C-alpha cells in the first residue's frame, strides 16, 4: 500500500521544473553538501546550520544548478546509520536551506522514509544510490511526491571479470521497470553509472570511456567522480583529491555525453564546463 503524501506545492514544482528544463541545454553542476561527520572528503565541516547555509550559498553563487544534501556517508567502509539518525542530522538544516538558498535541492539517500520527509521539506529530487532497488518503498515515495530521481548503479563488491557497462545497463533496465510500475514520469529520471560503487579502478575508467553507450536509455546521465580515490592511480603523486584530475575526468565524461556533474568544487567546474561547451558548440557549427 502506498503511503499518503502531500503533493509538492507550486514553488517546489516550479523549482523542479527549472532544474529539469536546463538539462541538455548546457552542462549542469550539482554541488555536494555533506551533513555528515565521516564523509571521505569533507566530513564534519558542514554539520552546523550556519556552516551548511554558508556552504550552500557559496555554491549557489558559484553557479551550481542544484545542491545535493546528504546526511549519511556512502563511502566504502562507512558505518550505516538509522533513518532516525539520518533525519536528526537533516531536519534542522534542510528546511532552512530550502527557504534561504536560491537553488533547488536534492536529497542524497537510499531510505524511503528519509526521502519522503525531505520531499515534504521542499527538495526537488532524490539521489538514490540504491537505484530504486535497495528500499522497496522508494519508487512509490518518489512518484507520489512528484520529485525527480537519480537512479544510480552500485554493486555490493567489485568483480573485475565482468563487463561493467553491460552490468550497469541490466541494472538500469530493472530500475526503470520499477519506476514505470510506480508511475514515475520518464522526464523526472536521471541515470548515474555509480563511479567507485563496487567497481575496480579499471572499471571506473572504462565507464567514463564508454559513457556514450548509456545514451541508449535516452535519459540524462549524471556523473560523480569528484575527489574519488581511483583518480589517484592516474597521477604520479597519488593525489586522489586533485582538482585537476577531477576536472579532467568530468570533461572526458562530458565529451561522452554526460549532462550533470556532481562535484565538491563548483566554481572551477562551472568555468571548465562553460569553456568546454563553448568550444564544442563551435566545433558543431564548423561541421
d(CA 229, CA 40): 10
Catalytic residue among 262, 274, 280, 285: 262
- In the chain, beta strands by DSSP E: 28-34, 66-70, 105-108, 125-128, 148-152, 189-192, 222-223, 260-263
Q: Is 215 a catalytic residue?
A: no
Q: Is 228 a catalytic residue?
A: yes
Catalytic residue among 16, 55, 117, 228: 228
Contact by Cβ (8 Å): 33, 262: no
Contact by Cβ (8 Å): 195, 220: no
Sign of CA dihedral 155, 219, 182, 122: positive
d(CA 242, CA 197): 19
d(CA 163, CA 128): 23
Could you tell me whether strands 148-152 and 189-192 are parallel, antiparallel, or unpaired per DSSP bridges?
Answer: parallel
Four-point Cα dihedral 165, 169, 174, 176, nearest 10: 130
Please list, in sequence order, all residues whose beta carbon lies within 8 angstroms of the beta carbon of residue 185, skipping any fewer than 6 positions away.
none
Q: In the numeric block, which cell numbers belong to residue 19?
A: 532544474
Place of cell 529520471: 189
Q: In the numeric block, which cell numbers belong to residue 96?
A: 532552512
Q: In the numeric block, which cell numbers belong to residue 262?
A: 556532481
As annotated, the active-site residues are 228, 262
Amino acid at each position: 500500500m502506498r503511503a499518503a503524501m502531500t503533493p509538492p506545492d507550486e514553488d517546489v514544482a516550479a523549482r523542479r521544473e527549472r532544474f529539469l528544463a536546463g538539462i541538455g541545454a548546457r552542462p549542469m553542476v550539482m554541488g555536494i553538501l555533506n551533513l555528515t561527520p565521516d564523509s571521505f572528503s569533507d566530513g564534519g565541516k558542514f554539520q552546523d546550520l550556519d556552516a551548511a547555509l554558508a556552504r550552500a550559498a557559496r555554491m549557489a553563487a558559484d553557479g551550481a544548478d542544484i545542491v545535493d544534501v546528504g546526511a549519511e556517508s556512502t563511502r566504502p567502509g562507512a558505518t550505516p546509520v538509522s533513518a532516525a539518525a539520518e533525519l536528526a542530522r537533516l531536519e534542522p538544516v534542510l528546511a532552512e536551506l530550502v527557504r534561504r538558498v536560491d537553488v533547488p535541492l536534492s536529497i542524497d539517500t537510499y531510505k524511503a522514509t528519509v526521502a519522503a520527509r525531505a520531499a515534504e521539506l521542499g527538495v526537488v529530487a532524490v539521489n538514490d544510490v540504491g537505484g530504486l532497488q535497495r528500499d522497496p518503498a522508494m519508487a512509490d515515495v518518489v512518484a507520489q511526491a512528484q520529485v525527480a530521481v537519480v537512479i544510480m548503479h552500485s554493486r555490493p563488491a567489485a568483480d573485475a571479470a565482468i563487463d561493467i557497462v553491460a552490468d550497469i545497463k541490466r541494472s538500469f533496465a530493472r530500475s526503470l521497470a520499477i519506476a514505470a510500475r510506480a508511475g514515475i514520469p520518464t522526464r523526472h529520471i536521471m541515470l548515474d553509472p555509480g563511479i567507485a560503487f563496487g567497481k575496480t579502478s579499471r572499471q571506473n575508467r572504462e565507464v567514463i570511456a564508454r559513457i556514450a553507450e548509456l545514451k541508449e536509455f535516452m535519459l540524462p546521465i549524471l556523473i560523480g567522480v569528484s575527489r574519488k580515490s581511483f583518480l589517484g592511480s592516474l597521477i604520479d603523486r597519488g593525489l586522489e583529491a586533485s582538482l585537476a584530475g577531477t576536472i579532467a575526468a568530468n570533461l572526458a565524461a562530458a565529451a561522452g555525453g554526460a549532462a550533470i556533474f556532481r562535484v565538491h568544487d563548483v566554481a572551477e567546474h562551472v568555468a571548465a564546463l562553460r569553456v568546454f561547451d563553448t568550444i564544442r558548440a563551435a566545433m558543431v557549427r564548423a561541421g
